Copies of this chain bind each other. A is one copy, B any other.
Amino acid sequence: MKIAIAQINPVIGDFHHNFKSIYAQTVQAKKMGCELVVFSELVLSGYPPRDLLEKKEFVKANLNCLKKLIKKVEGIGVICGYIGENPENLDKPLFNSGVLFENGRILHITHKRLLPTYDVFDERRHFAPGTKSSVFYYKGLGIGLTICEDAWNDKDIFAKQLYPVDPVALLIQAGADLIINISASVYYMGKNRFRSRMLSAIAKKYQVPLIFCNQVGGNDSVLYDGISAAFTPNGDIAAQAKDFEPDLVVFDTQSLMGDIHPISSTEKKAVEKALIMGIHDYVIKCGFSTAVVGLSGGIDSAMTLYLAVRALGKENVTAIFMPSAYTSRENFEDTKALADNLGVELSTIPIDEMFKTFLKYLVPDFKKESPGITEQNIQARIRGTLLMGFSNKNGCMVLSTGNKSELAVGYCTLYGDMNGGLAVISDLPKTLVYNLADLINQEQEIIPARIITKPPSAELKPDQTDQDDLPPYEIIDPILKGYIEEAKGIDDLVKQGYDPKIVADVITRVDQNEYKRNQAAPGLKITSKAFGEGRRYPIAKRLRPV
């Protein structure tokens, strides 16, 4: 049997759009001679619908969408995810469900059993777990349908079981000839490598083909990489869809052959594609089409502008340079060169007169030689206000430019440079921003070399560099990774060889700046632990042992 794996980019709650996308793919799959087409988890509503699930009208719209699809699609079987109702008067009122229908009839329904409730996932908030794993037969093939996390509890792969059952093992026991997994598998660096190996190992262990259909696209902070695939009973990849783009590939269960489409060749190239997709989807799905970026002459705003241009087109992106008395000649030149290289319109708004007016009213004792935190923040907030003013006037989204290292230690101004609808590189440690810049410049200098080589500076006081206040990013970044992504404590990090004083300083800064991050714009998640929805810390707290 030829099976199409349809990797689409649904818009949350836009049943009209999602219906059309799904239907178009069923037509395409039929044309390609497929008897079955597989879509991703909760594809009707898009994943994650979050608390929209608490609205009865939303659940009804999803069921209505399913009904219309069942009525309209002809001549091909369809497997897709949807929001199911729990008829029992016990537990949560919904299921995260999968259905197979064909020619107007539902042939099989299953409910997700393993409900991830960690990091960005809140499934136990909304869903009751399914309790059955039964195989269904379609065109003579025994199919075991699993939904995302259902395939993530194999005891040969995970040292620790988060859940008491392994639905894949149960389906194999029940006689499945083929495992299908429909997913909304959240992207982060390294995820696909692990996921692909895991799925391959499962196929090989049970000696059955395995089909994995993933969502693609960005929904707020969370990105989906696609790379839907089919694995042979030997664990080889027989079909593979593109990364970070909608796609459709075909897998033949008889010949065990399929379409293999290319994906990014390196982790860094994948990050670049992920961010471009994330900007595009957030801006467009929010109903915008244009964006504005404040350029400082530094690497972060240069990177953000580059990515915005790739995502939205140069004609849809404006750059604004807002020099102060502390802005160097270099930064004038570098900003101009960057905008020229990218073909982007550049406006310049000097902030000195506004700054002086604020000082007159707020800090009459201000000495120009060495502005304190108050004066530094005022400059950042004038810039933030100008960007928002430009946004209000022109209907474009402000993209903020802070990186993860700065956001972690609070080296950023709330209501200033943190202003924006999307914090594009807020999950990229500073060192990764540099690495990505090198990649971007590999064939041609797009980001002027001096932007990459000069020492990072906020330029909020004379001759300031980040390293006046902070240890070098090469030292901070691994400590932050340990503390934030790997949940390591001070003791662990000191044991790893980091300077105890620096570790304590960095950790204290992270802990003290929850309040800033709590009010940050959503950022595009590219690591296993990003700030935002997936990391929930109290603000008012004191970490003090007995």
Contacts and interface: CB of A to CB of B under 8 A. Distances in A.
Contacts of A419: 415
Nearest to A282: B540
A431 interface: no
Interface string A37-48: 000000000101
A12 B540 contact: yes
A386 B362 contact: yes
Contacts of A287: 542
Given A11-B541, A19-B546, A421-B515, A487 B54 contact: yes
Contact of A415 (B124, B286, B384, B546): B384
A375 to B, nearest CB: 8
Contacts of A489: 55-57
A368 interface: no
Interface string A462-478: 00000000000000000
Given A349-B361, A385-B385, A51 B13 contact: no
Interface stretch (A198-206, A244-252, A351-359, A442-450): A351-359
Given A51-B535, A538-B48, A538-B49, A17 B389 contact: no
A48 to B, nearest CB: 7
B15 A64 contact: no
A545 interface: yes
A385 B381 contact: yes
Nearest to A382: B385
Contacts of A362: 349, 386, 389-390, 393
Interface stretch (A141-149, A184-192, A516-524): A516-524
A157 interface: no
Contacts of A90: 160-164
B385 A545 contact: no
A73 to B, nearest CB: 13
Contact of A539 (B220, B385, B390): B220
A95 to B, nearest CB: 15
Most buried by B among A287, A363, A381: A381
A194 B346 CA distance: 60
A163 B13 CA distance: 29
Contact of A51 (B68, B92, B536, B542): B536
A287 B414 CA distance: 18
Interface in A13-64: 13-17, 19, 46, 48-52, 54-58, 61, 64
Contacts of A414: 388
A269 interface: no
Nearest to A354: B357
Nearest to A164: B90
A126 to B, nearest CB: 9
Interface residues of A, number: 98
A236 interface: no
A117 interface: yes
A173 interface: no
A55 B546 contact: no
A385 B363 CA distance: 12
A380 to B, nearest CB: 10
A542 B285 contact: yes
B12 A363 contact: no
Nearest to A15: B546
A281 interface: yes
Interface string A115-149: 00110001011000000000000000000000000
A92 B538 CA distance: 20
A328 interface: no
Nearest to A286: B540
A286 B515 CA distance: 9
Interface in A500-546: 515, 518-522, 533, 535-546
Interface string A405-421: 00000000011000101
Contacts of A49: 538
22 contacts: A11-B541, A12-B540, A16-B545, A52-B537, A52-B543, A58-B543, A89-B160, A90-B164, A117-B124, A219-B540, A220-B538, A282-B539, A285-B541, A286-B515, A354-B357, A362-B390, A377-B388, A377-B392, A385-B415, A519-B519, A519-B521, A522-B539
What 5 pairs across the A-B complex have the smallest Cβ distances?
A: A285-B540, A57-B489, A12-B541, A374-B392, A14-B542
